Each structure stands twice: as C-alpha cells, then as structure tokens.
Structure 1
Amino acid sequence: MTRAVDAVRGGSGTIDVVVLAASTASGSPTPECDVIIGLPNVNSCTTDVLTATQDASNAQVNTDVRNAEFVYFAGGNQCNYVHWKGTPLQASVQSVVNKGGGVGGGSAGHHVNSAIVYDACTASTDSATALANPYDRSITFTTGMFNWPNYADTINDSHFVTRDRMGRTMAFVARAIKDGLTTGGKAWGVGVEEGGSLFIDNNGLATLYGQDAYVVLGDHQPEQAASGKPLTYSNYKIWRISPGATYDFKNRPTCGYYTRSVTNGVADSNLYAGTPVC
C-alpha cells in the first residue's frame, strides 16, 4: 500500500483513500483504514459499508469515491461486489483510475479487480470440486465489472497456496477459454498467497511483496471441459513469482514458466514449484 500511495501521489502531496466493504468487520469497524491512515502521505481514509445493492447509488458514497485517489475493496464476499455492476458506484470507481488514481483489494477485493471475476454467488468451490467438474454449480463468473489497463483476460484468486487453490484456478482458466470469456482464446489466472501483495504500475509491470504469487496461463482449448465430466487440460504454463520479482502484464512473457497438466480431473503432482522450461 505504501508503494501504491507513492505511485499515485507522484512524489508530492498526499492522497485520500476510500475503503469499500459489504459487511462490518468484527472488532474494529474500520480495520483497513486503521492501518492505512498511519502510512506516510495519506491525508484521509474513509470506510463506506454498503450492505444492500441500492447503497451503490448513495450520493455520499459516490462523492467519497470520486474525491479519493485510491479505492480499496475489503475482504468478505465478492458476490456482494459484483452486484454493484451497472450502478453509479462502478462508474465512480472507474473514474478514480481514469484520473490517475489507483484501486486494489484483499481476498474478495482481489477477486473483483480481475477482468473475469469468480463471483462465488452460488457457493464457494475448492480444487477437488472444480477439477472433477469445471461446470459445477459453485463455479460462476461475472465479466464487465472492471477492465483495468494491461490486465485483460485475467482471473484473480486469493489465499492461494494455504487453501490449495491451484486446481480451481486451472479449472477457472479452462472455463474462461471454453466459454469464450476472453478476447484471444487465452486466459491468465493470478493467484496470490496470504501475506502477498502484487503491485501493478501504470505500465503493467507487477512487483510482488511478502509471499509468492502465481500466474497460470491457458493458451489453447481444453481437451475436455464439459458439465458433469472431469477436466482434462494439457500444459498449463505457470510462472512462480517470488517476493521482489516482477511480471509484465503489458508485454506478457513467453519464457520462465514450468508446465503442469490435468488429466481426467487429476492434476500433476508438485503444482506450486517447477523448473522453468525456457
């Protein structure tokens, strides 16, 4: 967040931050702002809690967002956030980036900032379920929420290694390609481990802080992705990004990856590490 503040302010002045949440956190009602307000060069931090879809049309909330230089989506349930699609709030958040500000989020807030959002509106899925049936009722997507520069055709995932979510991200990528949700027949899953932060600058260059992250590329149609059938997909290209390393989303790399496959719902072993093939 400190890196984001510095990038947005451009070396001078201070910025105002708005945290958007769909439920009140336990303990402090403003846990994100409690931290953010103590960072250098932050002038203010406001938490707006929206418990109903119609709150996204609230005039004060939209004024808060439009006056801010950074919008942070809190954790929780991303299904609440995708319900803001088509509301004044969606346009207000977009306006912050359009004027040179920034946007981000943690957990559910990370999910909602990808081009293709795993929305979890029917249920939350896990890797075993998704690989056994990539069309399980627990796997639903929202598109057209936000389309950030240099971040097209992405599907974010969170708590990545701790909750063993590589398998479900593989299924998400296959579904996105099979269902035509991407612009060029490719999809990039972006999984960030707990304690990790992926900062992406205006030129699309991502720098990782804290813990590992993974980029999972599917670049062809799945061999099998159908309702009620286990997934088969060969040769996902996986980049493991370590803290301090970068990944260029504007000029996406064609080397530095290792490969893993899924056959009849069973993924290769050792999904989270491998020797780069080039």
Structure 2
Amino acid sequence: MNQRPVLRPAASAAVALLTLAGVLTTAHSAQAAANRIRLGSPTDVDRAAWNGPAFTMNGAGSVVAASMSRAIDAIRGNSGSLDVVVPAGSAPTSGSRTPECDTVMGLAGVNSCTTWTLTKASDGNNTQVNTDVRKAEFVDFAGGDQCRYTGWKGTALETSVESVVAKGGGSGGGSAGHHINSPVVYDACNGSVTSAEAVADPYDSYISFTTGMFDWAHYGGVVNDSHFVTRDRMGRTMAFVARAVEDGLAGGQSAWGVGVEEGGGSLYIDRNGLATLYGEDAYVVLADHRPERAVPGRSLSYSGFKIWHLTPGSTFDFKNRPTCGYYLRSVTNGVPDPNLYNGTPSTCGSRSGTAPTES
C-alpha cells in the first residue's frame, strides 16, 4: 500500500524570506510578514476607464508572455500603460525574488509590477496589499499552493481582486494561480491527489474543494487543473467534475474541467468569454449528467465524458459553449477508457468557437 504523507509541507512549513532592498520585512511568530517588491514606476497609472476584463489561465507557474501581452493590450485598449500585482503564497527558494514581474516588466504597456508574498490568511486584510491591488489593472496569482490562496476567501483581498475585474482589468495565474481562478477550486488542502487515486475513490481524502470565491463572467461551473498531460491529470479532472455534479458544487446538472498543459500552455480569455490557446495543448472536460456511481469509498463509474482537445491557436467559446467537436471517454469501476488525450471529435460544420477537427 502506498504511504501517503499526513501533512502537506507547502501548507505547514514556515517560509523564510531574505531581506531585500525595497522589501517590507517584519518578523511575525514562525512566519515572515507580508513582503512587497515593486518594479517599474513608483506611481500608479490614473485612468478613468479600462477595456477588459481579460484573463490568463496557465498550465505552469510562470507568466506566458504571449497571452499576458494580449491581456494587457486588451485591458489598456493598446494605449497607455497599466499596473500589475502578483500575490504569492511563498517566496521562491532560489533565483529571482520576482520571477513573474521580471517577465511582465519586459512587456509593452506595463507601468509597474508589484510582488506581494503573503504567508498567512490574515495577510488578505493587509491595508497596503489591498491598496496596491485596487489600484492595479491585472492581478496575476503566482504558482505554488492554492490552499493558501483559498485562505484569502472572505478577506478584503478577495473583494479587491473582484474590483479590479469589475473596472475592466483582469486576473490570471499559473498552476496554483490557474486553480484559484475557477469558481470550483480543487484546493489541495489535504494533499495532492493522482488520477489513479481519484478514479478509485472520487471522495478520496485528498480531494477537497473551495467554492464561492472567484466566479468570473462566462466561466461558470468550471474546475481548473494544471500540468495536465505531463502529470497525467485527465482522470482526476474526470473525478472532479463528476463530484461537482453529484454534490451540486457547480450550481447545476453539469460541470466543466479546464486542464492546461505546462511548458507554455495558456488560455487567454477575452471580455466576451472567447478563449484562445497559446503554447501547449489544453482540454475541456464536460460532465453533463450525474455519474452512474460516485460514493465515498467506491470507485467512479461515469459514461460519456465529453472532451474537447484544444491545440495552440484554437479557440473555445465559454459564453456560448459548443455542443459538438468533442470525443467521448468513460470511467467504469474506476478504470478509464484508453487513449484519454486523443479522439475523433464529433462534426461541428462551420460553427465558430469550437475545437478544430483533428487529423
């Protein structure tokens, strides 16, 4: 039998931060206080209106320059510049202390980029953090530990991020930052589940969700997943959406999984809900009926998951979700069908916004 750790190191270990120029540092019990590093202009842009919202959903933790550039250009209407804030749940253990901002500052139309390292749930009510976020036009959640991010639910930070999107700015992130931007968040607060474990028991103790945090327009009913093909996460996403339907987490009789591959995979989503894929493949997985079996301690059985395989350059319309262009896969007694990541899609004709036909 596999040995599983009792505690998740990312959630339980204290974070040690170095004192840097331009960083706020104050000891606080076993954890460091909120830390701020700002690159670029010390003064925020002051502008009456913005043209978003726009979103980026990345398969790995780093910023994808192509999709981020498109989001920045959409929000600023290709005119002027804007400010970006990067909330992070922990500081990098090596290399730059501001990896996301290092990339962002190399893009056109950026006035400043501020990294906030927040190690406690209460940091979500930090006054300066929320001032910076509310003045920004894009919030990019760093990779790391989405359980820490869900700890900010109900804090001022949640409301501040929502205000950025509401004024026509944007939100996004990679890996953990991708997870937190879906309305149903696989929070991994009890541990990280594998596909094999999830289909063997969709109520495995390592499967836990947070709902009621961010619910962006046109993106309802979605559970995000990351590092999708490399870490073979199709099976667990199937279990997630089956659970979401069975338990009513998605607010209806269907739930959608959005899995993005690492290595530069990124979905840019515009103000009308149209997503364009950059870099690497992505998958949209639909559960549109209750599972044949999803109960604690038993393996999953679900017939007919609908799967859209997106390749770089293709689009998916989240506002008007397609009813064709998918292939079907099932899980029977905890055993998924073979060839989960490729299939012959149903014919769409000339309908726009659907996944392309595969050769």
With the shorter chain as reference, the TM-score category is: over 0.9
Matches within 5 A, 1:8-47: 8-26=75-93, 27-47=95-115
Query: Pick from 338, 342, 345: which aligns with 1:269?
Result: 338
- Structure 1: how far apart are the matches of 2:89 and 2:283? 27
- Structure 1: how far apart are the matches of 2:122 and 2:244? 30
SS in structure 1 of the partner of residue 100 of structure 2: helix
Structure 1 match to 2:252: 184
2:152 maps to 1:90? no
Query: Pick from 221, 236, 240: which aligns with 2:305?
Result: 236
Q: After TM superposition, give the deviation of residue 214 of structure 1 in Å.
A: 0.2
Q: After TM superposition, give the deviation of residue 11 of structure 1 in Å.
A: 1.9
Query: Which stretches of structure 1, 4 residues or more, deviate above 4 A after TM superposition?
Result: none
2:138 maps to 1:70? yes
Structure 2 match to 1:80: 148
Give the TM-score of the pair, scaled to structure 1. 0.99
SS in structure 2 of the partner of residue 79 of structure 1: helix
Q: After TM superposition, give the deviation of residue 184 of structure 1 in Å.
A: 2.1
Query: Pick from 284, 288, 301: which aligns with 1:219?
Result: 288
Moved more, 22-31 or 124-133: 22-31
2:208 maps to 1:137? no
- Structure 2: how far apart are the matches of 1:233 and 1:80? 32
- Structure 1: how far apart are the matches of 2:297 and 2:216? 34
Matches within 5 A, 1:49-64: 49-64=117-132
SS in structure 2 of the partner of residue 150 of structure 1: coil
The amino acid across from 2:326 in the alignment is Y
2:170 maps to 1:102? yes
The amino acid across from 2:216 in the alignment is W
Moved more, 208-217 or 24-33: 24-33
2:179 maps to 1:111? yes
2:304 maps to 1:258? no
- Structure 2: how far apart are the matches of 1:166 and 1:53? 31
SS in structure 1 of the partner of residue 112 of structure 2: strand
Q: Deviations over 1:95-130 (max 9, x none)?
A: 000000000000000000001000000111000000
Structure 2 spans left out of the alignment, 5+ residues: 1-67, 348-359
SS in structure 1 of the partner of residue 162 of structure 2: helix
SS in structure 1 of the partner of residue 257 of structure 2: strand
Query: Pick from 200, 224, 235: which aligns with 1:167?
Result: 235
Q: After TM superposition, give the deviation of residue 73 of structure 1 in Å.
A: 0.2
Structure 1 match to 2:265: 196
- Structure 1: how far apart are the matches of 2:78 and 2:206? 45
Compare relative contact order (CA 8 Å, sep 6+) and give the higher one, 1 or 2.
2
- Structure 2: how far apart are the matches of 1:206 and 1:98? 19
- Structure 1: how far apart are the matches of 2:153 and 2:229? 29
The amino acid across from 2:171 in the alignment is V
SS in structure 2 of the partner of residue 236 of structure 1: strand
- Structure 2: how far apart are the matches of 1:196 and 1:7? 19
Q: After TM superposition, give the deviation of residue 182 of structure 1 in Å.
A: 1.6
Structure 1 spans left out of the alignment, 5+ residues: none
Q: After TM superposition, give the deviation of residue 183 of structure 1 in Å.
A: 2.1
- Structure 2: how far apart are the matches of 1:189 and 1:54? 30
2:72 maps to 1:5? yes
Structure 1 match to 2:3: none
Aligned residues: 278
The amino acid across from 2:69 in the alignment is T
Q: Let me know the Cα RMSD of the aligned residues.
A: 0.5
